[in-house]
Structure 1
């Protein structure tokens, strides 16, 4: 099966994780999309233009200008006619529908992995964007989501017309297994709890809370930050870290190569995100959930979120009742309590937290079911996970 993957950000490692998953499942994948960074790409791809983080309206304008040209651009670049088009995020869905105009036999699949704040609520802009999305989704054979929270709180609440929905969680792809697990239950540093905050660092509340935690309890906590700070959102990120002896920023890391090292070097993982509080932040199941749990870092979450509910169902993690209670809840974690939390997490099968070759094959087979010969015999059902 030949898949054309339309990507919103070719500099996002998650794009290439999905490509690897599709290829491991037996598909042939061509990639085209926009860039938000510079430097060499992980793999060859057709670059359609340059965009920027957080500027959805500007991105939509760039996409709108390309819509009339997309088929010609792809054909001129030698992209073969695919069996299926997979579009990641709303902007790419618009390109996918335009590319497939007059090609009704080729299914269009929508990856809905984040809900932008402009899409939420009953304001004129939100209603207008959802109307556009609904029109585009009417062409889709399937919507892929990474959390059932997106189904309940967005697709169903706003009655967006998804013919069928499949859940593909943000688990790290480990085709050869994740390697040995850590058996450590005691803090990595005696009498000090090390908390890791990794990935795209963009939540002002999280930064301020971790800073305040260490200042109220000096020496009891050490905060390790790694990844890519969103300096447009956190302009004082480096200043905050430099002024706090119990915080350290150790730069970017290689995914997935460095995951065992960085998570094994901390006791707990900060998963609370308030960047889109009441919306996307409360509905998603982030990469950090699976990565941290896989390598033994106890997750810290808010209890009344999709993430908190997921952890509660498994009986693991430190689940905080409210943002205001976060510091006191962490301060109450004794070495004995930490040992219990880590032992409980270690008791779950590690297969809970990563994707393997079977998951890849299952995903490709689910996409294959959208092809015309399958559709005729087995029409998709609404909200099938």
Structure 2
């Protein structure tokens, strides 16, 4: 069985659980170690008892660097009872640095442990043109020199960052942020009760769901102004994990909004049919790092919403809008303002919504879902990197 050491920057991130499950279902034995953003230790992730490297804080880069340095110094002791891995996956740059340290500990200088760099976001610090930016990119190139594979979730990260900045010296594996569905084929139909209807009943509002990592202040303000202008004809439903460092007072702001509700966190994928069944549209817009990472990513909510036939709303000029254009689904705003949103909903009726929803529903479900076969394929690609693996690694995305 392939032995994988998975190093992550936030054990409490639901996406970490999904990746661990994918690796396990694919046939790998997973050892999980990482930092956490939660106050309390994480007892288990998908049945794995994680190795807690300590608490870090979102947005505090210096504190995270100090935590990485401290963890690197004690990593030999921390991992002393861990079986030697075949592959070490470092989820983002700081964990790639620890992956190199772990490889040195386990291999003793020999090249018999492979490193995989998993990069699902390109931090704005990496894109700076000043001395600090060049220094961080140089560090990334140095740490990635020992990596055999890059896993990323959007082709735009490669096209807009890794290739033009010269950060790539390895094959690329595109693993999109699809909904993990196990135990049934992706061709199986969803129960009608799990899906939004053709539109709201008479007198009821349209509902836009903004779910997942809530970190965009501009989206929050835009949706607030828009829902107020619509005077109850549109409601905004928020679910997930707010990045409280990005808002002055997220809870107070939402509580004061007459047409906006926050319903807390949810289980992924267990709660997805229910929560997307309660809304008509999925907000697939993020201005958090506009012009950079936010324009390049293909977010979880895109796949989740479309899986349950919610109509996505995206922003023109982003990778998400290109994705939707290729499939001819969803709505794309040309400008990020209240007037643009208002014009969209002023011309919306049950018939036009049902047409838009039907176009989403007509897509091949495999666009939105990964299953057991995808898990096996991922672990199979990792197995090729192991010392006893066979065959070359194939570049599947560019």
Q: TM-score range by the shorter chain?
A: over 0.9
Is this contact kept in 1: 2:162–2:168, CA < 8 A?
yes
1:350 pairs with 2:365 = yes
Whether the aligned pair in 1 keeps the contact of 2:315 and 2:336 (CA below 8 Å) is: yes
Measured in 1, the distance between the counterparts of 2:297 and 2:397 equals: 18
Q: Tell me the alpha carbon deviations over residues 268-296 of structure 1, each in whole angstroms, 9 at most, x when there is no partner.
A: 01111000101110000111011111111
Residue 171 in structure 1 maps to residue 178 in structure 2: yes
> What residue in structure 1 maps to residue 198 of structure 2?
186
Residue 368 of structure 1: CA displacement? 1.0
Rate the CA distance shift 1:212–1:98 in 2: closer, same or farther, 3 A: same
Q: Which residue of 2 aligns with 1:107?
A: 114
1:143-292 to structure 2, matched below 5 A, reads: 143-177=150-184, 180-182=190-192, 184-190=196-202, 192-292=205-305
Alignment partners' CA distance in 1, 2:91 and 2:99: 10
Paired position in structure 2 for 1:307: 320
Partners in 1 of 2:302 and 2:99 — Cα distance?
Answer: 31
**Of 19, 42, 53, which aligns to 2:44?**
42
Any idea what SS the aligned residue of 1:232 has? helix
- CA distance in 2: counterparts of 1:181 and 1:121, whole angstroms: 48
SS at the partner of 2:302? helix
Q: Give per-residue Cα distances to partners, 1:65-99, cap 9 Å, x unaligned.
A: 22233133201xx1110111111011110011011
Q: Which residue of 79, 87, 101 maps to 1:98?
A: 101
**TM superposition shift of 1:230:** 1.9
Moved more, 248-257 or 15-24: 248-257
Partner of 1:361: 376
Return 46-55 or 178-187, whichever deviates more: 178-187
Q: Let me know the Cα RMSD of the aligned residues.
A: 1.8
2: distance between equivalents of 1:269 and 1:206? 13
**Bigger Cα displacement from structure 2, 52-61 vs 270-279:** 52-61
Report the equivalent of 2:7: 6
- Deviation for aligned residue 1:381: 6.1
CA deviations on 1:82-130 (whole Å, 9 max, x unpaired) are 1111110111100110111213111100000111111113111111101
Q: Are residues 159 and 383 of structure 1, via their aligned partners in 2, closer, same or farther at CA, if it must alter by over 3 Å?
A: farther
Point out where structure 1 has 5 or more consecutive residues left out of the alignment. Answer: none
State the Cα distance separating 1:351 from its structure 2 match. 2.5
| SS at structure 2 position matched to 1:85 | strand
Asked if structure 1 preserves the Cα contact closer than 8 Å seen for 2:39 and 2:55, the reply is no
Partner residue in 2 for 1:62: 67
Count of matched residue positions in the alignment of Structure 1 and Structure 2: 381
1:383 Cα deviation from its structure 2 partner: 6.9
- CA deviation profile, 1:201-245 (whole Å, cap 9, x unmatched): 111111111111111111210111111222221223223322222
Change (3 A) 1:42 1:331: farther
- Aligned CA distance change for structure 1 residues 384 and 336 (closer, same or farther; 3 Å): closer
- The CA distance in 1 between the partners of 2:70 and 2:91, in whole Å, is 18
Residue in structure 2 matched with residue 328 of structure 1 by the alignment: 343
Match of 1:28, SS state, is strand
Distance 1:281 1:189 in 2: 35
- Stretch of structure 1 that moved more, 262-271 or 343-352: 343-352
Counterpart in the other structure of 1:74: 79
Structure 1 residue 55: deviation in Å? 1.7
Return the alpha-carbon distance in structure 2 between the equivalents of residues 339 and 381 of structure 1.
41
Give, in angstroms, the shift of residue 251 of structure 1.
1.8
Distance 2:383 2:213 in 1: 32
- Mapped to 2, the partners of 1:256 and 1:383 lie a distance apart of 26
Counterpart secondary structure, 1:260: helix
Q: 1:239 to 1:320 in 2, by over 3 A?
A: same
State the alpha-carbon separation in 2 of the partners of residues 330 and 42 from structure 1: 44
Q: Report how far residue 366 of structure 1 moved.
A: 0.9
